[in-house]
Structure 1
Amino acid sequence: MTPQQARELITDALSQVAPDADIGALAPDADFRDVLELDSLDFLNFVETLSDASGYRIDEDDYPEFATVASGVEFLAKRV
């Protein structure tokens, strides 16, 4: 998976979890859980949506890799 494809999957998943948020204005290195005020259930929905879309199982041990869009892109680009 290319970084661009990973970024699109992440932003699409975030858009589904936080439909009213301006995902395009989100800084790549910002902690999107804080910025978008996602609670643990929202984050779990994000991870499940992203896992389904990417075809890659994202385990709980991998959750810290999705603190920012940039770190999530790097994780997916290396593994998928």
Structure 2
Amino acid sequence: MDRGEIEAVVRRELQRIAPEADIEALDAGGDVREELDIDSMDLLRFVTALDAQLGVSVPESDYRRITTVRGCTDYVAEKLGRRGA
């Protein structure tokens, strides 16, 4: 899976959490919690969706790494790359 496909999944899952938001307009480097006004339960649902859709488990200690679209894409790509190695 390439970075573009990963980012598409990240944005799709964020859209499910914040259906009223213009996900394509999100700043890839902006904090999605602030931009989408999501709470900790929403973030947990997002983490669960990443695991379900991409098979990437995100421990709570890594949540800070997935708070931006770019950071989340990088994190997932890194995890998927390690698994393939």
Q: TM-score, normalised by structure 1?
A: 0.93
Task: Find runs of 4+ consecutive structure 1 residues off by over 4 angstroms.
Answer: none
Tell me the equivalent position of 2:14.
14
Provide Cα deviations, 1:28-72, integer angstroms capped at 9, x if missing partner: 001010010001111111111111100111111121111100011
Gaps of 5+ in 1: none
Q: What is the rounded CA distance, in whole Å, between the counterparts of 2:41 and 2:70 in structure 1?
A: 22
Q: What is the rounded CA distance, in whole Å, between the counterparts of 1:37 and 1:69 in structure 2?
A: 15
Tell me the equivalent position of 2:45.
45
Q: Which has the larger radius of gyration?
A: 2
Q: What is the rounded CA distance, in whole Å, between the counterparts of 1:28 and 1:50 in structure 2?
A: 17
Tell me the percent identity: 32
Q: RMSD in angstroms over aligned alpha carbons?
A: 0.9
Count residues in correspondence. 80
Tell me the equivalent position of 1:33.
33
Q: Which amino acid aligns with 1:27?
A: D
Q: Which amino acid aligns with 2:8?
A: E
Higher relative contact order (CA 8 A, sep 6+): 1
Q: What is the rounded CA distance, in whole Å, between the counterparts of 2:35 and 2:56 in structure 1?
A: 26
Q: What is the rounded CA distance, in whole Å, between the counterparts of 1:39 and 1:18 in structure 2?
A: 11
Tell me the equivalent position of 2:72.
72
Tell me the equivalent position of 2:63.
63
Where 1:19 maps in the other structure, the secondary structure is coil
